[in-house]
Structures are given as C-alpha cells and as structure tokens.
Amino acid sequence: MDKTYAAKKVDIRRQWYIIDAKDRVLGRLAAKVASVLRGKHKPIFTPHLDTGDGVIVINAAKIKVTGRKLKQKVYLRYSGYPGGLREVSLEAMLKNKPATVIKLAVRRMLPGGPLGRDLLKKLKVYTEDKHGHVSQKPVVLEI
C-alpha cells in the first residue's frame, strides 16, 4: 500500500487569484473562494494545514442572489445584553456593506478554529473593481 502524502511547509507555494463577482451567484462564488483559500484545488491538499492561496474579490456590490433571498435572508447579531438581538436583511447588507456579505458567506464555509481564522486573513474583498494588490501579481480565476 502507498503511504498518504502530507504536505510540508517547504512544499507549499502561494499564489494570488482575483475573482470578479459581477453577476455571480453569492453561494456558488463563496464555495469556490472557500475551496481556493483552503487549497482543495491543489494536489498537495492536507486537511490540517494551510495549503491554500490568497483570493481578491472585486465588484462585491454587483453580486446576485436567487429566489427571494433579498427579502427573506436575515443576518443576526447578538450583543450579549437583554434585547440586544439585531436583525439585518440581505438587501440592507448589500446596500450598506456588500463586502461583509461575501466575507460572511466564505467564513461560514471554512473550518472553525485557528485554521479557519488564518485562512480568512488571505481573503480581500472590494466593492469596486479597484484594489491595491497589484504587487502580488494576481491571476484572474474564472468560475
């Protein structure tokens, strides 16, 4: 039997990808971004290591959702105080903080704990098509 391959730190090569979110469905985009952040697109994927790449998402304000999610989907926050539960609809979030919508969708598709927090640091989301990551030489990723 062959042995299972486990990646080492010296084997990991980082790459930056840029994804245009214009007219993309939120969930499908978030799933692809989470997969790239995690490193599942690489043959050296190891579940307990950060083998993934960095992702830059542009045009977050132009994301699409299907069905009646704009009105029905609700984001909840709780301050910890009595009466401190806050509800915000997806429509209001897209209007005020479109980058947060994508970050939350991707965050909830990543593992919890320290590994998931480290993976999320490699995600950069911008509402427009301008970004400050030219020096990373990002490759355009079509999904």
- Domains of the chain, each with CATH number or no CATH: 14-140 (3.90.1180.10)
From first to last of its 143 residues, what are the pLDDT tens digits of the chain? 788 888 999 999 999 999 999 999 999 999 999 999 999 999 999 999 999 999 999 999 999 999 999 999 999 999 999 999 999 999 999 999 999 999 999 999 999 999 999 999 999 999 999 999 999 999 999 88
Phi and psi at residue 78, to the nearest 5° = -130, 125
Q: For position 143, what pLDDT does the model report?
A: 81
pLDDT given at position 2: 81
Which pLDDT does position 96 carry in this prediction?
Answer: 97
| Separation of CA 138 from chain center | 16
Whole-number pLDDT of residue 76: 97
What confidence score (pLDDT) does residue 78 get? 97
